[in-house]
Amino acid sequence: MGIGVVLVAAGSGKRMGATRNKLWLPLADKPIMQHTVELFVAHPHVSEIVLVVSEIDLTEAKKLTRRMDSKISIALGGAERQDSVRAGLANLSEECDYVLVHDAARPFITALQITELIKKVQIEQATIIAVPVKDTVKVVSPAGLVEATPARESLWAVQTPQAFRLSLLREAHEQALQAGKIGTDDAMLVEWLGHPVTIMMGSYENIKITTPEDLWIGEEILRKRKRER
């Protein structure tokens, strides 16, 4: 059984206020992207990794992966995240049965969580990591008026990795492409096919580094984990 990983790293630094891809910004002693890639390279159940980057980051990404592991390949991303994931899926080998799609901007997923997700997806075929929402959420109209207050108990904040049988996710992306369907995550495309998607409890530490404040939080997470070793 082959487990593949698609690491999506083709974004920009707009919300970070950076002049380059935020994934090259330092977190502790190395770039954010390096933390994430090394985590999956070290995982014993991961057989292959596709790192999806933009053309402007291609040379630097090759330098990073060259000194790591031969199970990493690189693909060029597209205009939207969905295009980048589809490019990553196309680069996985036929030996791959299941795939984990992960945002490279989430360097705090743990090896134990990855292991548990791999176990669960082999049973469920489509499993995502998420955490219960802590805050009350309002549905607001374009005019700024509150329209509804969903029950907080039913709301979960979705993270990555998201795990799927590879053939299922490829079918979802192909049909979405043909229909012009855009999803905010990969699970949405699988749901659109009518396939059930199950939830696995994630961690509030599994943040996505998006703004300068997230870097400060990330540094503290690393210090905390270092103290707990």
| Domains, the chain, ordered by start | 2-223 (3.90.550.10)
* Residue tagged 């396939």 (tokens): 195
Residue 68: the pLDDT is 79
State how far the Cα of 128 lies from the Cα of 153, in Å rounded to an integer: 18
- Please report which confidence band the pLDDT of residue 66 belongs to, taking 50, 70 and 90 as the band edges: confident
More confident: 33 or 67: 33
Whether the predicted pLDDT of 227 surpasses 70 = yes
pTM for the model = 0.94
Whether the predicted pLDDT of 16 surpasses 90 = no
